[in-house]
Homo-oligomer: A and B are copies of this chain.
């Protein structure tokens, strides 16, 4: 009964918001405060590929004008000045700059004249704890900007495909790159849901184990929180992708639409899985209640059998332990043995009774 949890932080659902600030104020609200903003720039076309890492925000500006597609990935949002510098260079609206560093912002899509702005969440299990990272994406005519809270992401395969020119990606435009990034995120959701599904199955097995696990209630509650957290990332992204499929924006080429529709199919599927696991987890509590009740039934049966057999026998022994002067049976030669026989019969009768009731 002493199940304590130490890491409420990670299962915290309610985001902290930078409150009481003038709307449009660029204030970082996350927990990862790497002081340095790292840029990871990939500049490519069908024939050309160049990757470049730097801490100097201004180096990014060189790539903008090239005819190649440029993907500028920014790691670290705590240095808001860098974000503002970069944002102003790319002429991002103050509200966008605010959203980029507001880690609480829920997934959404905003259309501007020169670019599309998408906010979404990257989920990963970090040492058994589900953490989510706030990511923003700006897609312009020939560039894609992505902003992450910290280094380490789910885009490594994508970068490899870019480097080795696998798939259609090198020949396609910035819109396809945007799709590929979202596709990597949705793919990652599949992994997360699968990991969660394993946790659910493990807990289900644990439920039927005989061991005393009084913290199962806590574990179920934690699973509930995790599934709610995943849902909070997946459900609005589904809407985002749905809108992405429908908007008619010159930035998105006709041929990319088929891929986005495919992506929408995938996120719907993730969403359905999330709903199913949600239902399963909610059902776990009922299952747990029945196993508790079953265990109690078993305990009660042992008590009832022991008490029902030995209490009457003890009474019989008590009868002949009385000190009345005149208890005739006490003086017959074999009455002790007869009584033992009667007791044996009572014992066997009880056993037979409980066997018939299937309690034994």
User: A residues engaging B (CB < 8 A)?
Assistant: 1-4, 8, 12-17, 19-25, 93, 95, 104-106, 108, 110, 157, 161, 166-169, 179-180, 183-184, 187, 190-191, 193-194, 197, 201, 204, 207-208, 210-212, 214-218, 220-221, 224-225, 228, 232, 258-259, 261-263, 265-266, 268-269, 272-273, 276-277, 279-280, 282-283, 285-304, 306-308, 310-315, 317-327, 329-336, 339, 357-359
Question: Taking CB as reference atom, which chain B residue is nearest A304?
Answer: B303
A238 to chain B, nearest CB (A): 13
The answer to whether A312 and B317 touch (CB under 8 A), given A95-B262, A296-B296, A299-B297, is no
**Once bound together, how far apart are the Cα atoms of A24 and B8, in whole Å?**
41
**Once bound together, how far apart are the Cα atoms of A332 and B325, in whole Å?**
8
**Once bound together, how far apart are the Cα atoms of A1 and B155, in whole Å?**
46
The answer to whether A1 and B306 touch (CB under 8 A), given A22-B169, A272-B232, is no
User: Within the oligomer, what is the number of copies of this chain?
Assistant: 5
A175 to chain B, nearest CB (A): 13
Evaluate contact between A3 and B313: CB separation under 8 angstroms: no
A317 to chain B, nearest CB (A): 3
A281 to chain B, nearest CB (A): 10
Q: A interface, by DSSP: helix, strand, loop or mixed?
A: helix
Provide the residues of chain B in CB contact with A313, threshold 8 Å: 315, 318
Tell me which of B194, B228, B280, B293 contacts A289 (CB under 8 A). B293
**Once bound together, how far apart are the Cα atoms of A358 and B214, in whole Å?**
13
Evaluate contact between A221 and B197: CB separation under 8 angstroms: no
Contacts A217-B291, A289-B290, A320-B324 aside, 5 further interface pairs with beta carbons under 8 A come to: A1-B208, A3-B208, A20-B184, A24-B259, A324-B339
**Once bound together, how far apart are the Cα atoms of A23 and B220, in whole Å?**
36
Provide the residues of chain B in CB contact with A265, threshold 8 Å: 105-106, 108
Evaluate contact between A308 and B302: CB separation under 8 angstroms: yes
By Cβ-Cβ distance, the 8 closest A-B pairs, closest first, are A22-B167, A317-B318, A303-B304, A20-B157, A320-B322, A324-B336, A306-B308, A321-B321
Tell me which of B16, B184, B272, B273 contacts A194 (CB under 8 A). B16
Question: Taking CB as reference atom, which chain B residue is nearest A104?
Answer: B269
The answer to whether A17 and B190 touch (CB under 8 A), given A279-B228, A300-B296, A318-B314, is yes
**Once bound together, how far apart are the Cα atoms of A228 and B109, in whole Å?**
30
Evaluate contact between B330 and A324: CB separation under 8 angstroms: yes
- 14 inter-chain pairs at a CB distance below 8 angstroms, sorted by A residue, are A14-B277, A106-B269, A106-B272, A110-B261, A212-B358, A285-B287, A285-B290, A288-B290, A296-B300, A300-B303, A304-B306, A307-B307, A307-B308, A310-B311
Provide the residues of chain B in CB contact with A294, threshold 8 Å: 1, 214, 217, 292
**Once bound together, how far apart are the Cα atoms of A313 and B3, in whole Å?**
35
Provide the residues of chain B in CB contact with A24, threshold 8 Å: 167-168, 259
Provide the residues of chain B in CB contact with A17, threshold 8 Å: 187, 190, 266
Evaluate contact between B304 and A302: CB separation under 8 angstroms: yes
